[in-house]
A and B are shown apart, each in its own frame.
Chain A
């Protein structure tokens, strides 16, 4: 159908591209420790973009026949503003594994067995454990009028575990997950169980929050609040709109010289890896911040055309909306061998008084891109004389990421993937901690 659509578009528009995506997801859900539901979801859709008289139009559908899709795209283009958009020509694509036959063909029993094992290993008296296992098998195809005809298969599995304890009005919830292209191996499940255990046990005791400008260890999960402003500022769209604080800082050292961020779509075995982006641009590794120096921003075709630069291969698109900028895999710090020894990646050792922050409330609210943040903690621990002394409830942390990342107190030895981001724990000095 996609070839016919592009042929039809060629006759009525100046240029066009279309992406077809099909996914089949199989899910098993354990609720309160027992298997409760199994489901499948099949989803297929096509997203068409046309360029007509210099204007861009978009339309999408999940119907099996294109129907009036091209008419709708042309109607959209008639209203659109002019963009000097150029679709990329065919080019050799890098090799990156995105598919695993073992994952794609795993039986319902295999998926259920993974969940059942985790329930058994994580469950404890007086607590509720929920586990879900989702396996997705995908196919993506992208065709444009400049000659690109690219496609690749995908497979992914994600496993999530949460453990909740109610004690009076105190609720403690700890969660973690595994995602990858390959089925989780025994070591992966061990790591998941250990991770839950390391968060849960020290949280059973409550500690009084400290106060003042203190050293705070942000775990890979807790780092979201610190990295979100940078992710927003590194988008070429933010630069184009004049709202990125990094816009005129390329080539300058703004951060600790051990701090780097790389976008890497070519990592084997990760669910966000891909040989080509959703606009037909071949994937490549893009250093964004290198040894503390701002290197470059990410662009899709349209923002690149507007900014007078080239796409970095970061166009992503869904069935219904126009392509937008999105990262693939973000690697924070130096991805070397992790030797994880303890929660916090060993950074708690040596702290006289401080916190380990694993989850914050309200991340993403407010004026994120400016770098200032202030959040109550959702899951955090007090560290006194190198030891975790308990969970801290009534506390908030605040600071400015551009200030805090100038000097990093240390990188943990607990580097890991969390969804599409790899990082270790970071120790940041002088984070303001308040009690409430």
Chain B
């Protein structure tokens, strides 16, 4: 394969050429209730060529027939030459690298029989079904190993094996007309060795679904809100992370003004970053899909905006350094600026310290989902607790946080010292590319005041 890549690059007449080849083996098992929905193994392979000719725009070709590689290099050049630019596209410098950067497979899933995978998932599904009150479940297992080659005309040549496993479960509890859900999700850039010992998490999700049947809906209003590690991580990804992706600002002077480095985004306690090099996490890779090494990139330091996430193109345009954040979900897509493992850095103190002086507040836990549209966001917690007189009180449901992200970031007043990474499955969507493996991490975070509402009073 390396010889084919080298030959194709050599034959290219363009100023810059890059090629990715991917071969993915994956398997998936799904249960619905006690019934197996499907168990199957798939094979996906294809290539991607991107070319930049002098004074021209990007020419792109993606394909599943690998014997078409030389033709696709030529086709991409024609497409590049169809785009004439007054201001040429520059690429920030990245040192060429040759590496066999094989990630630890941690138990190669390709060597494990489909029946074994079914058995593991059946066990977790059974944990959920055994909880009283649970009437239905969904459970799924997914694994893959991608053999990956990347080469460009500047001399970079990479060969990697990229593993991934995800497990997820939804427990549905029902009584009369009321339906409640509990969610468990595990996602890691690891292998078969990482799929065991998750029974407690599935059981806990099912118990929570049953417990929510008796929980009251949170009373809408503005409260001091404490986010658990998972909610805080999802919040920083959705509400801030996307704005720090440089393709959001690099062509737009007004957006750039909004995201000027040096602008205050929060109080001095707030430190945020994105670390694609942290070991074993879902968003971790040694190099991004332009061959740039991943790194820990500070985004907010002591409340001040200090950095952003880049591809080579956005870095060149803004005169900054590439950060290793150009990623594609597969050979079918071009690399675009994406997050990896995004985090709020540790502060000080325990969870108890955070809630001690709250007379009435809400503790929002475990994210069901979230969406940001421009500067407005809405996040749904899986469950919550009231905080009363400095103590954790009753379980509540339908905890939805909504607000303006600039105001809300500025109201983060206390950050705990109990940082941990989320190890959930799922993924991030942008520009038609979903799901990209990412994760987040955070300690407990306290927001001075945030709007919480399930029902909107008529």
Assuming A81-B36, A241-B32, A321-B40, is B114 touching A376 (CB within 8 A)? no
Q: Which residues of B contact A38 (CB under 8 A)?
A: 57-60, 79-80, 82-83
Chain B 438-458, CB within 8 Å of chain A: the 1/0 string?
A: 000000000000010111111
B118 close to A43 (CB less than 8 A): no
A39 close to B60 (CB less than 8 A): yes
Chain A 312-328, CB within 8 Å of chain B: the 1/0 string?
A: 00000001111000000
Asked if A36 is at the interface (CB within 8 A of a chain B CB), the reply is yes
B82 close to A173 (CB less than 8 A): no
Shortest CB-to-CB span from B139 to chain A, Å, is: 14
Asked if B110 is at the interface (CB within 8 A of a chain A CB), the reply is no
Chain B, residue nearest A127 (CB): B254
Assuming A38-B83, A362-B371, is B39 touching A367 (CB within 8 A)? no
Q: Which residues of B contact A389 (CB under 8 A)?
A: none
Q: Which of B41-49, B157-165, B284-292, B353-361 contacts A (4 or more CB under 8 A)?
A: B41-49
Assuming A36-B58, A320-B44, A376-B402, is B373 touching A361 (CB within 8 A)? yes
B64 close to A62 (CB less than 8 A): yes
Asked if B188 is at the interface (CB within 8 A of a chain A CB), the reply is no
Asked if B193 is at the interface (CB within 8 A of a chain A CB), the reply is no
Assuming A37-B59, A166-B252, A432-B458, is B38 touching A322 (CB within 8 A)? yes
Shortest CB-to-CB span from A305 to chain B, Å, is: 13
Q: Which of B40, B61, B62, B458 touches A322 (beta carbons < 8 Å)?
A: B40
Q: Which of B37, B41, B65, B179 touches A59 (beta carbons < 8 Å)?
A: B41
Q: How far is the CA of A32 from the CA of B255 in the complex (A)?
A: 12
Q: Which residues of A contact B258 (CB under 8 A)?
A: 166, 168-169, 171
Interface band, chain A:
35 or more
Asked if A153 is at the interface (CB within 8 A of a chain B CB), the reply is no
Chain A 223-256, CB within 8 Å of chain B: the 1/0 string?
A: 0000000000000000001110000000000000
A166 close to B38 (CB less than 8 A): no
Q: Which residues of B contact A433 (CB under 8 A)?
A: 456
Asked if B98 is at the interface (CB within 8 A of a chain A CB), the reply is no
Asked if A63 is at the interface (CB within 8 A of a chain B CB), the reply is yes
Q: Which residues of B contact A321 (CB under 8 A)?
A: 28, 38, 40
A436 close to B451 (CB less than 8 A): yes
Chain A, residue nearest B28 (CB): A321
Q: Which residues of B contact A76 (CB under 8 A)?
A: 38-41, 114
Asked if B298 is at the interface (CB within 8 A of a chain A CB), the reply is no
Assuming A38-B83, A166-B252, is B41 touching A75 (CB within 8 A)? yes
Q: Which of B267-275, B375-383, B387-395 contacts A (4 or more CB under 8 A)?
A: B375-383
Asked if A45 is at the interface (CB within 8 A of a chain B CB), the reply is yes
Chain B 77-106, CB within 8 Å of chain A: the 1/0 string?
A: 001101111000100000000000000000
A434 close to B457 (CB less than 8 A): yes
Asked if A386 is at the interface (CB within 8 A of a chain B CB), the reply is no
B43 close to A436 (CB less than 8 A): no
Asked if A359 is at the interface (CB within 8 A of a chain B CB), the reply is yes
Q: How far is the CA of A34 from the CA of B86 in the complex (A)?
A: 10
Q: Across the A-B interface, how many residue pairs have beta carbons closer than 8 Å?
A: 217
Chain B, residue nearest A23 (CB): B64
Asked if B208 is at the interface (CB within 8 A of a chain A CB), the reply is no
Q: Which of A63, A320, A365 touches B378 (beta carbons < 8 Å)?
A: A365
Q: Which residues of B contact A64 (CB under 8 A)?
A: 64-65, 67
Asked if A96 is at the interface (CB within 8 A of a chain B CB), the reply is no
B375 close to A169 (CB less than 8 A): yes
Shortest CB-to-CB span from B198 to chain A, Å, is: 21
Asked if B251 is at the interface (CB within 8 A of a chain A CB), the reply is yes
B179 close to A39 (CB less than 8 A): no
Chain A 252-267, CB within 8 Å of chain B: the 1/0 string?
A: 0000000000000000
Chain A 145-175, CB within 8 Å of chain B: the 1/0 string?
A: 0000000000000000000111111111100
Q: Which of B62, B451, B456 has the most CB of A within 10 A?
A: B456
Q: How far is the CA of A168 from the CA of B85 in the complex (A)?
A: 30
Chain A, residue nearest B87 (CB): A34
Q: Which residues of A contact B82 (CB under 8 A)?
A: 38, 108-109, 112
Q: Which of A36, A42, A69, A128 touches B83 (beta carbons < 8 Å)?
A: A36
Q: How far is the CA of A367 from the CA of B42 in the complex (A)?
A: 32
Assuming A39-B58, A365-B368, is B64 touching A166 (CB within 8 A)? no
Q: How far is the CA of A380 from the CA of B179 in the complex (A)?
A: 31
A126 close to B254 (CB less than 8 A): yes
Q: How far is the CA of A167 from the CA of B33 in the complex (A)?
A: 51
Q: Which residues of A contact B374 (CB under 8 A)?
A: 171-173, 378
Q: Which of A75, A109, A374 touches B456 (beta carbons < 8 Å)?
A: A374
Asked if A67 is at the interface (CB within 8 A of a chain B CB), the reply is yes
Q: Which residues of B contact A375 (CB under 8 A)?
A: 378
Shortest CB-to-CB span from A28 to chain B, Å, is: 8
Chain B, residue nearest A71 (CB): B41
Q: Which residues of B contact A319 (CB under 8 A)?
A: 42, 44
Shortest CB-to-CB span from B20 to chain A, Å, is: 13
Asked if B334 is at the interface (CB within 8 A of a chain A CB), the reply is yes
Assuming A62-B43, A63-B43, A362-B369, is B60 touching A37 (CB within 8 A)? yes
A42 close to B65 (CB less than 8 A): yes
Chain A, residue nearest B81 (CB): A38
B35 close to A397 (CB less than 8 A): no
Asked if A117 is at the interface (CB within 8 A of a chain B CB), the reply is no
Asked if B403 is at the interface (CB within 8 A of a chain A CB), the reply is yes
Asked if A212 is at the interface (CB within 8 A of a chain B CB), the reply is yes
Q: How far is the CA of A226 from the CA of B254 in the complex (A)?
A: 35
Asked if A58 is at the interface (CB within 8 A of a chain B CB), the reply is yes
Shortest CB-to-CB span from A279 to chain B, Å, is: 15
Chain B, residue nearest A359 (CB): B373
Asked if A351 is at the interface (CB within 8 A of a chain B CB), the reply is no
Q: Which residues of A contact B115 (CB under 8 A)?
A: 78-79
Assuming A321-B28, A365-B380, A374-B400, is B255 touching A37 (CB within 8 A)? no
Q: How far is the CA of A430 from the CA of B458 in the complex (A)?
A: 9
A166 close to B57 (CB less than 8 A): no
Q: Which residues of B contact A61 (CB under 8 A)?
A: 42-44
B83 close to A35 (CB less than 8 A): yes
Q: Which residues of A contact B68 (CB under 8 A)?
A: 42
Chain A 28-72, CB within 8 Å of chain B: the 1/0 string?
A: 000110111111111111000000000011111111100101001
Q: Which of B46, B57, B64, B82 has the most CB of A within 10 A?
A: B64
Asked if A366 is at the interface (CB within 8 A of a chain B CB), the reply is yes
Asked if A393 is at the interface (CB within 8 A of a chain B CB), the reply is yes
Interface residue ranges of B199-215 to A (CB < 8 Å): none
Asked if A5 is at the interface (CB within 8 A of a chain B CB), the reply is no
Asked if B75 is at the interface (CB within 8 A of a chain A CB), the reply is yes
A/B interface sample: 6 pairs, CB < 8 A: A58-B40, A73-B40, A128-B254, A166-B252, A166-B254, A362-B369
Contacts A76-B40, A168-B258, A361-B372 aside, 12 further interface pairs with beta carbons under 8 A come to A42-B61, A42-B64, A79-B115, A79-B118, A128-B252, A169-B258, A171-B374, A241-B136, A243-B179, A320-B26, A367-B179, A375-B378
